[in-house]
Amino acid sequence: MSDNDCRATLMTIATPLFAQKGFHGVSVRELAKAADMNLSMISYYFGGKEALYTAVLNEQFATLGQVAEIKSLALDPLGKFERYIHSTVERYRKNPYLLRFYTSELTNPTPSFELIVKPAIGRVLLVLHQIFTEGVAAGQFRRELDPMDTILALAGMINFYFLLEPVTKELVNHAPERDEVLVKHLMDIFTRGVAVSIDS
């Protein structure tokens, strides 16, 4: 197996294990066994368990970079927010373990939190904040709204929906076929919530 195959295999195998059990919940023995490799390969290819975890986390959070591209799309602010929600759903579908790393690092931070997670989330919030400011300037959103409270509310709606999946599995249909409907519902609530009223 080539260098790169081994590294990639280890990361692919490690991703769901770290995501589901947390950094301290997985041992190098378990990782090596799952990847069908000798446990010394983790040190050989990455330098240790923590370095493997950092590599996985970096890969996961790199996908958040797409959010910045929304800023420069040819859409009005509401359209950009819809794109944010839509792309967030899509990202969680393509990347079923991202949210677990996200919340795990927020709740039980490792040294990677300050280096990787916090800056990545910060950049997303910055983009959302800029979109909101744009919408206020365009007279689309109510001026009296607090920008940060508002964009955190938007981000909370969609992220919490996925975070609660282990609890709501039997209560709501989490099939990807319903994603478009979900996006529509959340945008419906958010749009009416923040838009300037017709009679003002």
Please pick, from the candidates 20, 48, 138, 176, the single residue that binds DNA as defined by CB under 7 A.
48
**Type of residue found at 14:** A
5 to 34, contacts with DNA by CB under 7 A? 6, 26-30
| Chain residues 14-53 in contact with a copy of itself, contact rule CB under 8 A | 19-22, 24-25
Taking CB under 8 A as the criterion, the residue among 107, 139, 143, 175 binding a copy of itself is: 107
108 binds DNA (CB under 7 A): no
Q: Which residue's CB is nearer to a copy of itself, number 17 or number 41? A: 17
Q: Look-up: residue for tokens 């419906």?
A: 188
CB burial readout 95-133, b (16+ within 10 A) else e: eebbbbbbebbeeeebebbeebbeebbeebeebbebbbe
The residue assigned the tokens 């799952």 is 34
Q: How far apart, in whole angstroms, are the C-alpha atoms of residue 85 and residue 179?
A: 10
Backbone angles phi, psi at 44, to 5 degrees: -65, -45
> Is residue 111 within the footprint of DNA (CB under 7 A)?
no
By CB under 7 A, is residue 98 in contact with DNA?
no
Q: Which two tokens stand for residue 70?
A: 């929304």
The residues of the shown chain that bind a copy of itself, judged by CB under 8 A, are: 19-22, 24-25, 99-100, 103-104, 106-109, 113, 117-118, 121-122, 125, 145-146, 148-150, 152-153, 155-161, 163-164, 166-168, 171-172, 181-182, 185-186, 188-194
